[in-house]
Structure 1
Amino acid sequence: MDSATNKPEQEKPEERLAKLLYEALKSYLEPKQIEEVERAYRFAAEAHIDQYRVSGERYICHPLSVALVLTEIRMDQAGIVAALLHDVLEDTPVTKEMLADEFGENIAELVDGVSKLSHIQFRSKAEAQAESMRKMFLAMASDLRVIMIKLADRLHNMRTLGVMKPVKQRRIADETLGIYAPLANRLGMNNIRLELEDLGFKARYPVRRRVLEEAVKRARGNRKELVSKIEIGIKTRLINAGIECRVVGREKHLYSIYRKMINRRVNFSEVFDVYAFRIITDRVDSCYRALGAVHNLYSPIPGKFKDYIALSKANGYQSLHTILKGPHGVPIEIQIRTKEMHGVAETGIAAHWLYKSTGKETQVRAHEWLRNLLDSHEESGDSMEFIENLKVDLTPKEIYLFSPKGDIIKVPMGSTAVDFAYAVHTDIGNRCVAAKVNKRVVPLNTRLKNGDAVEIITASWARPNPAWLNYVSSIKARTGIRTYLKNFKEKEAIELGEKLLEKELNVLGKTYDEISGERIIGLLEELGLPSLDALLGEIGLGNRMALLTARRLTHKEGDEGIKLESGKDRDTESPLVIRGTEGMVVNLANCCKPIPGDPIIGLFNPGKGVVVHHQGCRNVAESKKNNRNWLEVAWASKTEGQFVVEIRVEVLNQRGALAAIASAISAVDSNIENITMDDHDGHTSTDFIRLAVADRLHLSKVMRKLRALPAILKIVRVMS
């Protein structure tokens, strides 16, 4: 008989993984709970029965491996079941309803939160991934186990990435390093973050990682003696101080070394020649005593101490950080924390499952962060913008600022006074006009430093400036500004549309109140618009003609082909009044820069509203020739604010000429916005000066004052 026939059948990979899973679960789950896990495994195995991974192994090995990763943080039964089922909605005919019937609504929601959006058509793969990510974050907000399963899923995919094509490896590694590793860090899950970074680094930059790994191995041998000397010195000092603690050396991780070399533009030795140790104590007061002891042993480097115990990081991380000048002047990085803080620092939100008495505050912080993130993006319909903003928000570096009342406000590093204002309250941000930093008035775009005392000056009339979007750093500020401007533009468009429609109705001998509600509803249905505000907004933005709308509301025929510029039946005695402060849907043209006192005309720019031009502007004649819609406008008897105008001045090149021009302009209460000079022949130059004036009369005073200067040869207003 052939001896091979007596050979026991080789264990299948999925069977081996299932055994490992059950063994791990026995240490913390009840037998009945493990039975439910076994039932989920059989269901998933049946659903994936004919599916294989690129490596050639059965697909069920992947969900089993994901579940095994979660046992390391003692994930509960529901989380393990959802991990085993996490791909059935995406890759098999199983539906969410079927899952809910079989395992309950809770499990179905968890699995759905992890699944990609595969049933919706997107314009690109990037948009599909972005929308799936957004969907996952919505699910995370109600149950953090969603992200735990997703991170475990990504971790196993990264561990088995080697079988993929190089192009796909790089794409997945980029996504891991750009989103998933920072996300693990933001949630305080240091162990998973480090492995994701290492695997991502290996896949994205294999040669760089190999070179760096070899350099670390060579350098490590030369450091042993000094590391041992420093460690013995620290331990001895702490024992003598009567502090019970554990001292461990910290090995710098390759990706961390690489990022520091790139960001700081320094060579390997400057990063690696830093000796790192961690001191773990039993109580908080022992942390501060240990800090004093090591500061007495080696000199602390000024400005390098950070107290993350008193002011913890956004992800719940707590520790004391200090840098000392050790033997031969080498820098020594020290972290001091309690055992509980160390557990939270390594596992973050997972500490809730690992250590039942700790980790709750970290979960509360995570929920708060997610809620703020999703609140900030409720107004955004763009999933790609959501991902870009998410990448910014995942950066955990923060600074601490003080309000006038002494409250501590956290903002991202690089924040401006506008970011601070929005961090205090959205209404403060919307109404801010200036700021005081350490009791000194500064511009709103001033970058703030850790420890600054900031006071925001507000005004009831103020509103966000679109230019703020060019320099704010925080998602809250960016979203607050965009939301306000969007709502403000809509409101302004409705108000302008109402004025324009009322004006055209008056031309036809009707008033707004005389139009029946039935007629308005009928027109809205005919145009396919949801509300009267939508119609008025369309008129205000120039997408629909007020004259045609008025005629349809009054049952007049002959709407087709009517042109506003025909003008015969138009009431030029009741033009739209321009005050200069209309805002976003009534704008003054940049080409001719009209000012109060100029003859003006309004041109509709579809989607943007009315653009007010000087009647002599070249663009007006061109627009009339092309049958563009226009309307009569006129300046209000009292206008507000300053208006920009440009003048061209021919000047003799002589000492003090520019100073004399500036002085003359200032003398008549005007202000220079900008000046450009074009040297002609060394004797004369042409200066283009942009001024802020109140009206045409003010401009004429400025020009008279300038003509009186001996150096001025010629002065004219630039109209286009």
Structure 2
Amino acid sequence: MTIQEQYELLEKTVRGYNPSADFAQIRAAFDYADKCHEGQKRKSGEPYIIHPLAVAQIVAEELKLDSESIEAALLHDVIEDTPATHEDVAKLFSPTIADLVEGVSKLTRIQYATKEDEQMENLRKMLIAMSKDIRVILIKISDRLHNMRTMEYQSPPKQKQKSLETMEIYAPIAHRLGMQRIKWELEDLSLKYLDPIGYEEIVSKLDAKKPEYEAFMKRTQIQIDERLNEMGIQHIAYGRMKHPYSIYRKMFNQNKSIDEIFDLFAFRVVVENVGDCYNVLGVIHDIYKPILGRFKDYIGTPKPNGYQSLHTTVMGNDGYPFEVQIRTREMHEIAEYGVAAHWKYKQNGQGAGTEGRYEWVRRLLENQEGADAEDFIHSLKVDMFSDEVFVFTPNGDVQNLPAGACPIDFAYAIHSAVGNHMVGAKVNGRIVTFDHILKNGDIVEIMTSKAAKGPSRDWMKIAKSSEARSKIRQWFKKEKKDENIVNGRSAFEAELKHCGLSMKDVTDSELLPTLLKKVAYPNLEDMYAAIGYGGFTAQKAVSRMQGEINRVLRQRQQEQQALEAAAAKPGKEEAAHIPAPKKVKSEQGIIVEGLDNCLVKFSKCCTPVPGDDIVGFITRGYGVSVHRADCPNAAHRNDPYQTGRWIKVSWGRDTNDSYPTILEVICKDRANLLLDISAALSTTNTFVLGLNTRSTEDGYAICRVEIRIRDDVQLKTLMNKLNQISGVLGVTRPAG
């Protein structure tokens, strides 16, 4: 299918459910994206525009979203992967579309200390955007779905990394949003790369038994249809195989092979109203024998993502157990499409208004305040992706908590004041310990007292939900700041000592700003407070600082050795008794007198290349800086205050392939001047890093060329070539 045919299919799909969509703007978005991505290719070799088109097709076909969502899907990579900016998109389309595109884009322009930090910030940014407009995550999930569908073109490590991220982050977000169909596909595609052998085993065995299984499902569907038609209940009934990941998880949890798992089928009955749901349940239990303990009423107690249905597991007449899900049409649409179902009939981009149902997104962000990267991602997984338990207050209000939750989680879910003043708890009328694990249907009563001293630090370890842990952290942060600083400093110093470091190394005025950046705190006191209240750990603080401290200590030791070597130069009489110097290995092609394996950097003020006369300057914390001997900065080597820091250096035999340097070409301005300079660079096989030209008011031009050069021979050849160009008055190497 050509690109044009794919676009026409997209338009046709949108017309099918939203004939009043703004097709002129959709076409404009496609044309702009096509122009921005021109020349870019995907790993498969296809033009890049294929990907935004496919994402827009998913947004339209699977989720049936509004015009703005289609436009944002087409444009979703332009801010991240092309020179286009948020302002450009806002001006050409609308600020809303620009915000959607920005929300989907990753934070690519920032360097992070760890992969966790980067993942956390990308997730946090996406969740903030999602809390303002839920369509951000719907487009992002569509983007990830298409990437997973085309994952075969990526390298094996990338396949595993992206599949794990999809399994841990995106599939559970789809689940939390109620988008079951997309969730299943994301899980199956991830499993295919995370455990290809396990995936293939399940798929091949299901294929082998397909005729037998299909015959069973057809017989069962006929039985259900016949009985419900007799009762005059309008319905649609159909069966399906459970998807591979669902079977895989069951095999793993129950430690069984696929042949030992019989619960492979699910039937769905969609009816007109809630009353019919319960009537159908009675009919199913009359035809088949229900399995005890396997009935769930999600109509009376909906899931947090809005899912409603009756679930029951029964034993079929053929000896196969199977699940039956009974729901109304509206419930079915929400179960299949989740939050996207609320957008289905929105017209002309007027899509706002349903985010109130997803207040949990904002709560999720608030609960992560003060958490570091690892805790953020861990808490996110627990809150977002765990199974839930439903428990009741004595008044009958439902609270949903993560599986494994205890009374502490329940108390803080009601209100932080209830948690902070809790002195005891009752479950179903009996007093229980704070670490008692709550079960579905428990009635929980929290006992409080104004005289309570507040939460214990041990509660942080017991609480399961990040909401409870966050509120406990906030209490300690506010109420016990001085105590936190003392405890945090003590823990930090103990960890430093354990790693063979001292506080003197950390508080060094030159080093401290770099170390604070590593731990992302403005000062040590704030870091101590965070360690004290549990928002950060002493182990993490020291491990992030340790590498930098050791590097600087090693560097200073080398500098000291260099200074001592320079100060201990022997007189003429002693020279005869000194053995010949050992052969020294060069660093980046530079030999430093008296030192081996010394950190070397080339100064940017004069950009030396092999063949230049050079000198070395011992810097504080960054090794030896190499200058050209004629550099104005090297003129200070006679300064009595710096004499001991200038050191002899020379070019070794093992120089690098090339070195960066700068040429300045002064010439009379004329037409095609830049073309002639480019030709000279090309004929001398010079690698160009940058080219910058400016004209002066008096008819001259100054051209600054950044290049990579092997040695002074190649450099002189190039300079001669440039000097021969008509109008060139001089070629110099700037210094200082």
Pair in the same fold by TM > 0.5: yes
Q: CA shift at 1:146, angstroms?
A: 0.4
- Look up the match of 1:505: none
Query: Does 2:388 correspond to 1:386?
Result: no
- Structure 2 matches for 1:342-491, cutoff 5 A? 342-355=332-345, 363-364=354-355, 366-380=357-371, 382-395=372-385, 397-459=387-449, 460-490=451-481
Cα 1:350–1:233 change in 2 (3 A) is same
Cα 1:372–1:316 change in 2 (3 A) is same
Q: CA shift at 1:402, angstroms?
A: 1.8
Distance 2:399 2:364 in 1: 17
Cα 1:304–1:362 change in 2 (3 A) is farther
Q: CA shift at 1:461, angstroms?
A: 2.4
Cα 1:275–1:49 change in 2 (3 A) is closer
Q: In 2, are the aligned partners of 1:177 and 1:197 still within 8 Å (CA)?
A: yes
Query: Does 2:297 correspond to 1:297?
Result: no
Q: CA shift at 1:23, angstroms?
A: 2.4
Q: In 1, are the aligned partners of 2:134 and 2:355 still within 8 Å (CA)?
A: no
- Look up the match of 1:24: 13
Distance 2:526 2:18 in 1: 65
Q: 1:148 aligns with which of 128, 138, 146?
A: 138
Distance 2:24 2:80 in 1: 25
- Look up the match of 1:42: 31
Secondary structure at the residue paired with 2:270? strand
Distance 1:124 1:418 in 2: 33
Distance 1:495 1:210 in 2: 57
Distance 2:421 2:201 in 1: 54
Gapped regions of structure 1 (runs ≥ 5): 1-10, 497-533, 544-583, 586-606, 608-720
Secondary structure at the residue paired with 1:290? helix
- Structure 2 matches for 1:670-709, cutoff 5 A? none
Gapped regions of structure 2 (runs ≥ 5): 488-520, 534-540, 542-736
Q: In 1, are the aligned partners of 2:188 and 2:245 still within 8 Å (CA)?
A: yes
Q: CA shift at 1:377, angstroms?
A: 1.8
Q: Deviations over 1:380-411 (max 9, x none)?
A: 3x244222211112225222212122222221
Cα 1:51–1:149 change in 2 (3 A) is same
Secondary structure at the residue paired with 2:261? helix
Q: Deviations over 1:178-237 (max 9, x none)?
A: 111111111011111111112111122222111111111233333444434433332222
Secondary structure at the residue paired with 2:381? helix
Query: Does 2:44 correspond to 1:55?
Result: yes
- Look up the match of 2:249: 259
Secondary structure at the residue paired with 1:280? strand
Q: 1:69 aligns with which of 58, 64, 69?
A: 58
Cα 1:152–1:226 change in 2 (3 A) is closer
Question: Which amino acid in the other structure matches residue 230 of structure 1?
Answer: T
Moved more, 252-261 or 472-481: 472-481
Cα 1:361–1:473 change in 2 (3 A) is farther
Question: Which amino acid in the other structure matches residue 6 of structure 2?
Answer: L
Q: For the aligned residues, what is the CA RMSD?
A: 3.2
Q: 1:160 aligns with which of 133, 141, 150?
A: 150
- Structure 2 matches for 1:85-234, cutoff 5 A? 85-234=75-224
Distance 2:100 2:527 in 1: 46
Question: Which amino acid in the other structure matches residue 62 of structure 1?
Answer: H
Distance 1:305 1:463 in 2: 40
Distance 2:163 2:418 in 1: 41
Cα 1:14–1:230 change in 2 (3 A) is closer
Q: CA shift at 1:28, angstroms?
A: 4.3
Distance 1:316 1:474 in 2: 20
Q: Deviations over 1:240-299 (max 9, x none)?
A: 222221221121100110011112222213333454211111111000011111112223
Q: Deviations over 1:611-645 (max 9, x none)?
A: xxxxxxxxxxxxxxxxxxxxxxxxxxxxxxxxxxx
Distance 1:148 1:433 in 2: 43
Distance 2:225 2:280 in 1: 10
Cα 1:91–1:298 change in 2 (3 A) is same
Distance 2:52 2:522 in 1: 53
User: Matched residues, percent identical?
Assistant: 43
Question: Which amino acid in the other structure matches residue 26 of structure 2?
Answer: V
Distance 1:28 1:328 in 2: 42
Q: CA shift at 1:329, angstroms?
A: 4.7
Question: Which amino acid in the other structure matches residue 28 of structure 2?
Answer: R
Secondary structure at the residue paired with 2:425? strand
TM-score, L = length of structure 2: 0.63
- Look up the match of 2:696: none
Distance 2:288 2:236 in 1: 19
Distance 1:226 1:485 in 2: 60
Secondary structure at the residue paired with 2:446? strand
Q: CA shift at 1:361, angstroms?
A: 13
Distance 1:120 1:53 in 2: 23
Distance 1:151 1:98 in 2: 24
Cα 1:32–1:374 change in 2 (3 A) is closer
Cα 1:328–1:538 change in 2 (3 A) is closer
- Look up the match of 1:326: 316
Report how many aligned residue pairs link the two structures: 499
Secondary structure at the residue paired with 1:415? coil
Cα 1:139–1:236 change in 2 (3 A) is same
- Structure 2 matches for 1:251-290, cutoff 5 A? 251-290=241-280
Secondary structure at the residue paired with 1:303? strand
Distance 1:419 1:384 in 2: 21
Q: Deviations over 1:662-708 (max 9, x none)?
A: xxxxxxxxxxxxxxxxxxxxxxxxxxxxxxxxxxxxxxxxxxxxxxx
Q: CA shift at 1:239, angstroms?
A: 2.2
Q: Deviations over 1:132-182 (max 9, x none)?
A: 111010000000110111011111111111111111111111111111111
- Structure 2 matches for 1:561-576, cutoff 5 A? none
- Look up the match of 2:678: none
Q: In 2, are the aligned partners of 1:494 and 1:536 still within 8 Å (CA)?
A: no
Question: Which amino acid in the other structure matches residue 179 of structure 1?
Answer: I
Distance 2:245 2:526 in 1: 56
Q: In 1, are the aligned partners of 2:262 and 2:320 still within 8 Å (CA)?
A: no
Q: CA shift at 1:495, angstroms?
A: 12
Distance 1:540 1:263 in 2: 41
Cα 1:53–1:92 change in 2 (3 A) is same
TM-score, L = length of structure 1: 0.65
Q: Deviations over 1:97-125 (max 9, x none)?
A: 22222222111111111111122221123
Distance 1:29 1:233 in 2: 38
Q: CA shift at 1:418, angstroms?
A: 0.8
Question: Which amino acid in the other structure matches residue 405 of structure 1?
Answer: N
Distance 1:351 1:255 in 2: 25
Q: CA shift at 1:538, angstroms?
A: 5.3
Distance 1:108 1:238 in 2: 51
Distance 1:18 1:208 in 2: 37
Distance 1:208 1:364 in 2: 39
Distance 1:205 1:437 in 2: 42
Q: In 2, are the aligned partners of 1:493 and 1:537 still within 8 Å (CA)?
A: no
Question: Which amino acid in the other structure matches residue 54 of structure 1?
Answer: K
Distance 1:345 1:218 in 2: 30
Cα 1:229–1:76 change in 2 (3 A) is closer
